[in-house]
């Protein structure tokens, strides 16, 4: 079964046993899966298997990490979002069709609605209760259940610390502490600890449209408190060798002071005019929800946050003076890539993909230099469904299914729940009792859980 609402690829135990695989291929896994009712099911283990999708010659072969689950089901396996994302597949529930790119054109896999319905009915127990486990996102954001311990990494240097889970098993905790202490040299504690990235590997280029006239912003005057904060920041940037003084620049921008939650000021540069003159770098950034899905099945997760990551990439020498900004002390430009430039994120992601090429998708995921966070359904889209009246025409049914499609990542078995609606689109419009019941169940599902969220990395860490 293909289920784009599943955050994991599942292989049911009876199917695994019938394949007569070597037991050594099954790797242990302790992290539980959470079902639709909130029940937790611990997988038997993880097994890596090759799959081929499509019809010759338009096929794609991948190796997939399946979670082996001992749970009654009429299906042999569930292909979830992790594999669908790797296939770059596009699904259509209306056409019961899966399309994906191959070396020989667009491959297709077509579903059989009759067979799918028979499988669904076969999964119902004697009492009419569906026993098939549904792997879906949690409906609420669960905060980490464990505390973090701060550990010192170097004797005599109390400021050099790291944090690890307080509830980790003693042996694992001891091993992690020892590992961090042995590799403390990889951490940066100050700007002086950062050697920077060699320009031969990457540098940031602006690619300014030469037909546009450079713009010099008129200097803004700041209150004494903000001006003092600007001077302090300029001193820090000069000491770190991130900026240099400049004379007669063509482009000139003002600084913007933003107050942080701590009460201190953050200095930014208003690159609005410069950014308008730069074309967009279309280098693809990862989707947060796909990164969260990729964490499924891992027993232990760790996080690394790049220390002044952007500032480790140098500006192309020919573009440095274009980043010039004005202060009461003088004019300065950046020697390293600053925040606020239009394509800085794409440049940084390009570097990360190059550095971790052999590990991304296997044991490392990178999204610029930020942490992964929870993903929440758009409350306006939920409200739109709750306020809908029962459809009175085919066009209104299409509007309903469109709104549901926008939220299908936050619903389990969305295809089954919407099946009555799809039936009305295949013939003359008729809003049946089955449609009305499905409509009410759908609205009730969102009404009782208005803040549906996906499982977060924090949850996976502490399950």
Query: Percentage of the chain surpassing pLDDT 70?
Result: 81
Which residue, 66, 54, 29, is CA-closest to 106?
54
Residues 386-419: tens digit of each pLDDT = 889 999 998 898 888 888 877 765 665 666 778 8
Rounded to an integer, the average pLDDT of 356-371 is: 72
Of 12-16, 80-84, 124-128, 380-384, the one with minimum mean pLDDT is 124-128
Average pLDDT of the residues of the chain? 80
Residues 371-393: tens digit of each pLDDT = 335 445 677 788 888 889 999 99
Q: What is the CATH number of domain 224-375?
A: 3.10.10.10
User: Is residue 350 scored above 70 in pLDDT?
Assistant: yes
Q: Please state the domain extents for the chain.
A: 10-124, 140-187, 224-375, 379-448
Q: Is 218 helix (H, G, I), strand (E, B) or coil?
A: coil
**Do 189 and 159 contact (CB within 8 A), yes or no?**
yes
Report the pLDDT value the prediction gives residue 214, as an integer from 0 to 100: 96
Rounded to an integer, the average pLDDT of 115-120 is: 61
Of 37-51, 52-66, 440-454, the one with minimum mean pLDDT is 440-454
Name the more confident of 119 and 381: 381
Report the pLDDT value the prediction gives residue 17, as an integer from 0 to 100: 83
Residues 142-168: tens digit of each pLDDT = 344 457 889 999 888 888 888 888 888
- Cα–Cα distance for residue pair 404/384, rounded to 1 Å: 10
Of 319-333, 336-350, 367-381, the one with minimum mean pLDDT is 367-381
Report the pLDDT value the prediction gives residue 129, as an integer from 0 to 100: 43
Confidence of residue 331 (pLDDT cuts 50, 70, 90): very high
Report the pLDDT value the prediction gives residue 190, as an integer from 0 to 100: 77
Rounded to an integer, the average pLDDT of 239-264 is: 90
First to last CA, the chain: 26
Alpha helices, DSSP H, located in 333-432: 344-355, 379-386, 394-405, 414-424
Topology alike, domains 10-124 and 224-375: no
Confidence of residue 216 (pLDDT cuts 50, 70, 90): very high
Q: Which CATH class name applies to 10-124? A: mainly beta
Taken in order 161, 167, 170, 171, the sign of the CA dihedral is negative
Residues 48-67: tens digit of each pLDDT = 999 999 888 889 999 999 98
- Cα–Cα distance for residue pair 160/158, rounded to 1 Å: 5
pTM: 0.53
User: Is residue 461 scored above 60 in pLDDT?
Assistant: no
Of 87-101, 221-235, 316-330, 360-374, the one with minimum mean pLDDT is 360-374
Look up residue 367 and give its two tokens.
């999204």
Of 140-149, 275-284, 297-306, the one with minimum mean pLDDT is 140-149
């Amino acid at each position: 079964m293909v289920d784009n609402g599943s955050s994991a690829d599942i292989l049911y135990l009876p199917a695994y046993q019938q394949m007569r695989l070597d037991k050594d291929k099954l790797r242990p896994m302790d992290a539980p899966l959470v079902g639709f009712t909130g029940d937790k099911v611990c997988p038997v283990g993880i097994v890596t298997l090759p799959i081929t999708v499509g019809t010759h010659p338009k096929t794609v072969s991948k190796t997939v990490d399946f979670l082996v689950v001992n749970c009654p089901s009429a299906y042999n396996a569930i292909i979830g979002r992790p594999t669908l994302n790797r296939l770059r597949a596009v699904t259509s529930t209306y056409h019961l069709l899966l399309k994906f790119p191959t070396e020989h054109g667009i491959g297709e896999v077509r579903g059989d609605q009759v067979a799918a319905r028979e499988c669904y009915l076969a999964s119902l127990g004697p009492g009419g209760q569906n026993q098939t486990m549904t792997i879906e996102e949690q409906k609420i954001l669960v905060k980490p259940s464990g505390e973090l311990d701060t550990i010192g990494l170097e004797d005599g240097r109390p400021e050099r610390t790291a944090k690890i889970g307080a509830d980790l098993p003693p042996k694992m905790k001891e091993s992690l502490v020892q590992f961090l202490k042995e590799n403390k040299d990889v951490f940066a504690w100050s700007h002086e600890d950062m050697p920077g990235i060699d320009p031969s590997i990457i540098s940031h280029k602006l690619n300014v449209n030469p037909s546009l006239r450079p713009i010099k912003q008129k200097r803004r005057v700041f209150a004494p408190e903000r001006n003092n904060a600007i001077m302090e920041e300029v001193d820090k940037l000069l000491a770190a060798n991130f900026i240099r003084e400049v004379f007669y620049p063509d482009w000139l921008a003002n600084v913007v002071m933003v107050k942080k939650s701590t009460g201190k000021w953050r200095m930014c540069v208003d690159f609005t005019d410069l950014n308008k003159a730069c074309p967009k770098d279309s280098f693809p950034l990862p989707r947060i929800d796909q990164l969260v899905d990729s964490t499924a099945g891992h027993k232990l997760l760790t996080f690394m946050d790049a220390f002044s990551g952007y500032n480790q990439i140098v500006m192309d020498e020919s573009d440095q003076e274009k980043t010039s900004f004005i202060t009461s002390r003088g004019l300065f430009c950046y020697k390293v890539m600053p925040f606020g430039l239009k394509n800085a994120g794409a440049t940084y992601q390009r570097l990360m993909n190059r550095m971790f090429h052999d590990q991304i998708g296997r044991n490392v995921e990178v999204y610029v230099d930020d942490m992964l966070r929870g993903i929440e359904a758009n409350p306006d889209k939920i409200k739109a469904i709750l306020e809908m009246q029962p459809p009175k025409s085919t066009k209104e049914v299409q509007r309903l299914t469109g709104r549901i499609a926008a939220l299908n990542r936050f619903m389990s078995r969305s295809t089954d729940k919407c099946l009555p609606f799809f039936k009305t689109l295949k013939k003359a419009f008729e809003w049946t009792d089955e449609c009305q019941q499905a409509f009410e169940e759908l609205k009730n599902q969102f009404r009782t859980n208005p803040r549906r969220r996906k499982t977060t990395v924090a949850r996976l860490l502490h399950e």
